[in-house]
Chains A and B, each alone.
Chain A
Amino acid sequence: SQQGEEDPQALSIQEGENATMNCSYKTSINNLQWYRQNSGRGLVHLILIRSNEREKHSGRLRVTLDTSKKSSSLLITASRAADTASYFCATTTGANSKLTFGKGITLSVRP
């Protein structure tokens, strides 16, 4: 069964607005990562947050992690049309650090 589950499944916003995406997971993790996938392409790594970190920033991205609630959120500030893509959270678990993905969120940013 899949570890991560994103919410909402789809999100449509206006350019310039902020986009918030959530991820919940089931078991203890080593880290949590967010990836982006443009239509018809492979996945691109966005940001990684370690299990002992609570917040991390990278450019317009802000990720939070709450291990007590087993949840994470990805905030994209000042969204652009080019941010239109699917976003996936993924967690690494276990001694072999397997990386498993959620089902993804489809973000549409309207110009």
Chain B
Amino acid sequence: NAGVTQTPKFQVLKTGQSMTLQCAQDMNHEYMSWYRQDPGMGLRLIHYSVGAGITDQGEVPNGYNVSRSTTEDFPLRLLSAAPSQTSVYFCASRIGQGVYNEQFFGPGTRLTVL
């Protein structure tokens, strides 16, 4: 299994541009999440999905959009990038909502917005 994969690894955008961060997992996990990591802030939950067709907001959802049309993919969209969205983005997945499930993380996407 490839586990959780993310593309691209690095991205530079100009303010106002849009882009989609891709996330895929091949473990047939129902539950997927997006986090951003900023220095001194740890990881903050952006959006999550408990299954295909179902998404919900996390702690910091503003400026981000998600959809979950398949079990495997969970793309994160930035509609109009802002410098405040400069961060490292991690996608994660786990089997399901069960409370005893560990979470698997992708390698991250480092995004810079100029």
The chain B residue sitting closest to A101, CB to CB, is B43
Tell me the chain B residues, 31-73 only, with Cβ under 8 Å from chain A: 31, 33, 35, 40-45, 48, 50, 56, 58-59
**Residue pair A103, B108 in contact (C-beta under 8 Å):** no
**Residue pair A104, B105 in contact (C-beta under 8 Å):** no
> Roughly how many angstroms separate A45 CA and B103 CA in the complex, as a whole number?
7
**Residue pair A96, B42 in contact (C-beta under 8 Å):** no
Q: Which interface residue of A42, A45, A103 has the most chain B CB atoms within 10 A?
A: A42
Interface size (A, Cβ < 8 Å)?
A: 27
Q: Which residues of B contact A45 (CB under 8 A)?
A: 102-104
The chain A residue sitting closest to B38, CB to CB, is A103
Interface size (B, Cβ < 8 Å)?
A: 30
| Interface residue? B74 (CB, 8 A) | no
| Interface residue? A25 (CB, 8 A) | no
Q: Tell me how far the C-beta of A10 lies from the nearest C-beta in chain B, rounded to whole angstroms.
A: 11
Q: Which residues of B contact A30 (CB under 8 A)?
A: 99
**Residue pair B48, A98 in contact (C-beta under 8 Å):** yes
**Residue pair B99, A31 in contact (C-beta under 8 Å):** yes
**Residue pair A2, B90 in contact (C-beta under 8 Å):** no
Q: Which residues of A contact B35 (CB under 8 A)?
A: 101
| Interface residue? B107 (CB, 8 A) | yes
**Residue pair B105, A43 in contact (C-beta under 8 Å):** yes
Q: Which residues of B contact A99 (CB under 8 A)?
A: 33, 45, 92, 94, 103
Q: Tell me how far the C-beta of A49 lies from the nearest C-beta in chain B, rounded to whole angstroms.
A: 10
The chain B residue sitting closest to A43, CB to CB, is B105
Binding site for A on B (CB under 8 A): 4, 31, 33, 35, 40-45, 48, 50, 56, 58-59, 90, 92, 94, 97-108
21 contacts between A and B (CB under 8 A): A2-B59, A30-B99, A31-B99, A33-B102, A42-B4, A42-B106, A42-B107, A43-B43, A44-B105, A48-B100, A51-B99, A88-B43, A90-B43, A92-B99, A96-B50, A97-B101, A99-B94, A99-B103, A100-B58, A101-B44, A103-B41
